[in-house]
Amino acid sequence: MPDKQTPAPAETISIRRLSYPRGDHVPNNDRFPAVLARNALGGARDDAVVRRLMEGNRWAGTWTWRVFDYHHFHPDCFEALAVARGSARLMLGGPQGEEVEVKAGDVAILPPGFGHCQLSPSGDFAICGAYPPGQEDYSVIRAEEGYDDAMLRQIAGVPVPESDPVWGGAGPLLTALRHG
């Protein structure tokens, strides 16, 4: 497993933008898509290396674990998710979204309000999360809790990240997020 902090060359990465409508229980985000970069890390990595990479690019509050196995969203943060090992089927965009297979090396940024849920992980699945500065103390809202107009205003007011969690600066993930 590579232990260097160098991501795959940005020009070799395919980035997909994911947008889904607001649902009854998950608002998603009217302004920003989620962005998913396949094999951004160049394959499996030690989770500590993945966390250091994101921290070095000014994303904080890092952790390694899994994605909750229920539909949820965060109304107060952007979230970077980087698959260190294994694979999983995730439901992105809430119940109205789509199933997406992620594997070691894939990285996503989910905007505030964007639903996500883990459906089935491989036995060795490990994913790392990180947040822009000041957004590390985030809320977890279960889909069944729903949302209201005040929460939609909160989602709209979350500051956009200033740095790409993988490449730093105005890297390809951040560019795709801002211009999606």
Q: Which residues of 112-144 are buried (b: 16+ CB within 10 A; e: fewer)?
A: bbbbbbbeebeeebbbbbbbbeebeebeebebe
CA distance 41 to 46: 11
Query: Would the pTM of this model clear 0.85, i.e. be above it?
Result: yes
Is 4 a residue whose pLDDT tops 80? no
Q: Report the distance separating Cα 105 and Cα 13, nearest Å.
A: 11
Q: Please determine, for residue 2, whether its predicted confidence score (pLDDT) is greater than 60.
A: no
The domain made up of 36-136+163-180 has a fold known as Jelly Rolls (2.60.120)
Alpha helix ranges (H) inside 60-179: 149-156, 172-178
Taking 60 as the threshold, does the pLDDT of residue 24 lie above it? yes
Structural domain spans, the chain: 36-136+163-180
What pLDDT, in 10s, does the model give residues 80-113?
A: 999 999 999 999 999 999 999 999 999 999 999 9
Q: What is the mean pLDDT of the chain?
A: 95
Between CA 92 and CA 97 the distance in angstroms is: 5
**Residue 6 binned pLDDT confidence (cut-offs 50, 70, 90):** confident
Q: How confident is the model at residue 13 (pLDDT cuts 50, 70, 90)?
A: confident
